[in-house]
């Protein structure tokens, strides 16, 4: 069974080497002491969210301070290409469900997208609170999945502005039920199965009402490729994670831990 994972701030593990003491504080320490009731000698992992993972044993556990004796330090390289999800805002927290599941499946960054047909709208203070909620969901899902890297929340996109994700080094795949090319065919055509030079693969997922004609046109004109994920129409909460899983398999990333 994998070790429970706790997070510290970005960069806090940079000076850590075997034998050093790592201190976890705040909510993470309270969870370790009061919820998990960890005791000295139990094995845990500590990560900084940017790829560095320390494995060790609990030295002491208190509600405000968890001390871990480091045994091994491992830096997990950033995936190449990285997988970026453009997730349209959706009602009933289906957008949150999408990014949580995609986190477990291994994507790297997400753009919230207020599409033309999104029922949910982010305005004013609501936008800032919503972004905070998304970031908390990403952190929680990363912890459950034992990820050393927490996906990033990128800038919020609006309407046809979604086309800004297209550009050099990006393979932009727009999930669309009217597409004629499959996701797998598009990836193979781009040379990704034979070490292509693409820096990132961007998956664009529309809202419940679908991607508007104007948005579809803007994406296509900018270089986005409409692709079909399968014969069935998936919900906004399902399409992104399903596509991430397919890509991970195509790229050979689903396999034993190293």
Instruction: Provide the token pair at 190.
Output: 């781009």
196 within some domain: yes
Domain boundary among 75, 100, 117: 75
Q: Are strands 200-205 and 170-175 parallel, antiparallel or unpaired?
A: parallel
Nearest to residue 96, comparing CAs of 129, 125, 48, 124? 129
Asked whether residue 65 falls in the same domain as residue 117, the answer is no
Asked whether residue 105 falls in the same domain as residue 71, the answer is no
Nearest to residue 17, comparing CAs of 69, 76, 73, 75? 73
Asked whether residue 10 falls in the same domain as residue 106, the answer is no
CA diameter of the chain: 59
Domain of residue 189: give its range. 82-251
Domain boundary among 37, 56, 75: 75
Question: Are 41 and 57 in contact, with CB atoms under 8 Å apart?
Answer: yes
Asked whether residue 132 falls in the same domain as residue 237, the answer is yes
Residue 222 has pLDDT above 60, yes or no: yes
Q: How much is the pLDDT for 232?
A: 86
Q: How much is the pLDDT for 125?
A: 83
Nearest to residue 95, comparing CAs of 122, 82, 113? 113
Q: Using CB atoms within 10 A of its CB, is residue 152 exposed (0-12), middle (13-18) or buried (19+)?
A: middle
* Confidence bin at 256 (pLDDT 50/70/90): low
Global pTM value: 0.91
Asked whether residue 25 falls in the same domain as residue 134, the answer is no
256 within some domain: no
Domain boundary among 75, 99, 115: 75
pLDDT digits over 68-97, tens only? 999 999 999 999 999 999 999 999 999 999
What average pLDDT does the segment 133-137 reach?
96
pLDDT digits over 186-213, tens only? 998 887 655 567 899 999 999 989 999 9
How many folded domains does the chain comprise? 2
258 within some domain: no
Q: Using CB atoms within 10 A of its CB, is residue 188 exposed (0-12), middle (13-18) or buried (19+)?
A: middle
CATH number for 155: 3.40.1280.10
Residue 255 has pLDDT above 80, yes or no: no
């Amino acid at each position: 069974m994998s070790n429970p994972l706790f997070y510290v701030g970005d960069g806090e593990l940079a000076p850590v080497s075997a034998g050093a003491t790592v201190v976890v504080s705040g909510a993470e320490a309270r969870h370790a002491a009061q919820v998990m009731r960890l005791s000295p000698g139990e094995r845990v992992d500590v990560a900084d969210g940017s790829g560095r993972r320390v494995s060790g044993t609990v030295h002491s556990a208190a509600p405000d301070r968890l001390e871990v004796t480091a045994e091994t330090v491992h830096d997990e390289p950033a995936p190449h290409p990285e997988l970026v999800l453009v997730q349209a805002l959706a009602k009933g927290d289906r957008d949150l469900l999408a990014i949580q599941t995609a986190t477990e499946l291994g994507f790297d960054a997400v753009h919230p997208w207020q599409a033309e047909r999104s029922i949910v709208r982010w305005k004013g203070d609501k936008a800032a609170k919503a972004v905070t909620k998304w970031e908390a969901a990403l952190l929680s899902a990363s912890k459950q999945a034992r990820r050393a890297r927490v996906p990033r929340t990128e800038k919020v996109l609006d309407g046809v502005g979604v086309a800004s994700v297209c550009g050099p080094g990006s393979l932009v795949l727009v999930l669309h039920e009217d597409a004629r090319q499959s996701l797998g065919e598009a990836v193979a055509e781009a040379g990704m199965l034979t070490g292509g030079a693409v820096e990132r693969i961007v998956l664009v997922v529309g809202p419940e009402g679908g991607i508007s004609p104007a948005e579809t046109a803007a994406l296509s004109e900018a270089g986005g490729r409409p692709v079909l994920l399968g014969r069935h129409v998936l919900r906004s909460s399902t399409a992104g994670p399903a596509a991430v899983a397919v890509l991970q398999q195509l790229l050979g990333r689903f396999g034993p831990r190293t």
